[in-house]
Structure 1
Amino acid sequence: MGVRTWIEGWPVYRQLTGPDPLGRGAASKSAGSKRLVARTETADRMARSVCPYCAVGCGQRVFVKDERVIGIEGDPDSPISRGRLCPKGAASESLVNGPLRQTEVLYRRPYGTTWEKLDLDTAMDMIVDRVLDARRRGWQDKDEQGRTLRRTMGIASLGGATLDNEENYLIKKLFTAMGAIQVENQARI
Structure 2
Amino acid sequence: MNVDLSRRGFLKLSGAGVAATSLGALGFGEAEAAEAAHVRAFKLTTTTETRNTCTYCSVACGIIIYSKGDVRDGNADIVHIEGDVDHPTNRGTLCPKGAALKSYVKSETRLTQPMLRAAGSSKFEPITWDAALDKIARAMKDDRDANFITHNDAGVPVNRWTTTGFLAASATTNETAWATTKVVKALGIAGFDNQARV
Contact 1:59/1:75 (8 A) holds in 2: yes
Contact 2:61/2:83 (8 A) holds in 1: yes
- From 176, 180, 186, the equivalent of 1:171 is 180
Q: Give the RMSD, CA atoms, in angstroms.
A: 2.9
TM-score normalised by length of structure 1: 0.75
Q: Cα deviations across residues 122-163 of structure 1 (Å, max 9, x unaligned)?
A: 111111100111111220011111111122112111224334
Percent identity of paired positions between Structure 1 and Structure 2 = 31
Aligned pair count reads 169
- Counterpart AA for 2:115: L
- Counterpart AA for 2:183: L
| Gap runs ≥5 in structure 1 | 1-19
**CA, structure 1 residues 26+153, in 2 after alignment: closer, same or farther (shift >3 Å)?**
farther
- Counterpart AA for 2:80: G
Contact 2:148/2:162 (8 A) holds in 1: yes
- From 90, 111, 114, the equivalent of 2:99 is 90
| Gap runs ≥5 in structure 2 | 1-23, 70-75
Q: 2:149 maps to which residue?
A: 140
Q: 2:190 maps to which residue?
A: 181
Q: How does 1:145-160 map to 2 (within 5 A)?
A: 145-160=154-169
- Specify the structure having the higher radius of gyration (Cα): 2
Contact 1:156/1:182 (8 A) holds in 2: yes
SS of match in other structure, 2:118: coil
Distance 2:38 2:146 in 1: 69
Cα drift, residue 165 of structure 1? 3.1
- Counterpart AA for 2:95: C
Contact 1:39/1:70 (8 A) holds in 2: no
Distance 1:169 1:62 in 2: 25
Distance 2:132 2:34 in 1: 56
RCO greater where, 1 or 2, for CA within 8 Å and sep 6 or more? Answer: 2
Contact 2:59/2:171 (8 A) holds in 1: no
**CA, structure 1 residues 26+125, in 2 after alignment: closer, same or farther (shift >3 Å)?**
farther
Cα drift, residue 94 of structure 1? 2.8
SS of match in other structure, 1:152: strand
TM-score normalised by length of structure 2: 0.72
Q: 1:38 maps to which residue?
A: 42
